[in-house]
């Protein structure tokens, strides 16, 4: 997300060289609360050498200031309430982001939530090009986080499409036809596991890559496992 009139400038990443204990004070105006809630097992993510280092650290303070529990899931800092995922911090080449697990249920009055791909049903991102954007949006980000917490506390669920609503890659359809046992095993998987595989296979742009992903996961499907099992 690029804000009008505020192009990205590397100089905004000014906190990267500060000690981690001091950064918490700097980014939260001297409040110690979020620092006490930092999970030591997650520190490595915020201390690794990356262009998003200071941005990650600022997002960490913002999220922890909302009273969430910090955990490590999928190799990223994930923040929970009553052991339920609310939001995580992650980054890519062109941006870093907050990913709301049930972002599709948020009101998004400001229109800043992003659906990563058309196949992503529940999660939504708020993307950032630099630390300056995060600082400018801090109050708004906390509003979105608090709303996401209330969604989770209320037990709301995203209405997911059925597996039949997803496109099956031609390569996988041929593999199922070739191996009846694989087809039987795939049909026996839970709908969530089926959708996970279909999204994983179809997200590859090249036929060669799709075929490689399918071959790599044949044994997992036959064993009744999902991608994350």
DSSP label at residue 16: T
Same-domain check for residues 149 and 179: no
Number of structural domains (the chain) is 2
**Domain at 115, CATH number:** 3.30.1460
| pLDDT tens track, the chain, 229 positions | 444 443 333 334 444 444 443 344 344 444 445 777 899 999 999 999 999 999 999 999 999 999 999 999 999 999 999 999 999 999 999 999 999 999 999 999 999 999 987 778 899 999 999 999 999 999 999 999 999 999 999 999 988 777 667 778 899 999 999 999 999 999 999 988 898 898 889 888 899 999 999 999 999 999 999 987 7
Same-domain check for residues 191 and 98: no
Alpha helices in the chain (DSSP H): 20-27, 33-36, 43-47, 53-64, 131-136, 138-153, 170-178, 180-188, 191-202, 207-222
Using the Cα atoms of residue 125, residue 131, residue 136 and residue 138 in order, give the sign of their dihedral: positive
Dihedral pair phi/psi, residue 53, rounded to 5°: -55, -55
Same-domain check for residues 169 and 114: no
Overall pTM surpassing 0.75 (yes/no): no
Which residue range(s) make up the domain with 213? 163-222
**Is position 2 within any domain?**
no
Cα separation, 151 vs 25, in Å, equals: 30
Same-domain check for residues 115 and 49: yes
Q: Which of 153, 183, 205 is the last residue of a domain?
A: 153
């Amino acid at each position: 997300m690029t804000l009008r009139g505020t192009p990205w400038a590397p100089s905004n990443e000014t906190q990267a060289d500060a000690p981690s204990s001091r950064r918490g004070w700097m980014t939260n105006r001297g409040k110690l609360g979020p620092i006490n809630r930092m999970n030591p097992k997650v520190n490595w993510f915020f201390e690794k050498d990356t262009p998003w280092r200071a941005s990650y650290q600022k997002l960490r303070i913002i999220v922890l200031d909302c009273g969430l529990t910090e955990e490590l899931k999928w190799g990223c800092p994930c923040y929970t309430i009553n052991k339920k995922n609310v939001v995580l911090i992650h980054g890519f080449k062109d941006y870093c982001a907050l990913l709301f697990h049930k972002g599709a249920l948020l009101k998004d009055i400001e229109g800043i939530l992003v659906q990563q791909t058309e196949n992503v049903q529940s999660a939504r991102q708020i993307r950032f090009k630099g630390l300056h954007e995060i600082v400018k949006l801090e109050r708004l980000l906390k509003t979105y986080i608090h709303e996401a917490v209330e969604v989770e506390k209320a037990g709301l669920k995203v209405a997911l499409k059925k597996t039949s609503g997803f496109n099956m890659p031609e390569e996988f359809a041929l593999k199922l036809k070739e191996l009846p046992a694989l087809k039987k095993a795939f049909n026996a998987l839970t709908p969530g596991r089926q959708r996970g595989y279909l999204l994983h296979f179809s997200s590859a742009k090249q036929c060669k890559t799709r075929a490689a992903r399918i071959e790599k996961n044949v044994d997992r499907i036959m064993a009744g496992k999902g991608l994350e099992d």
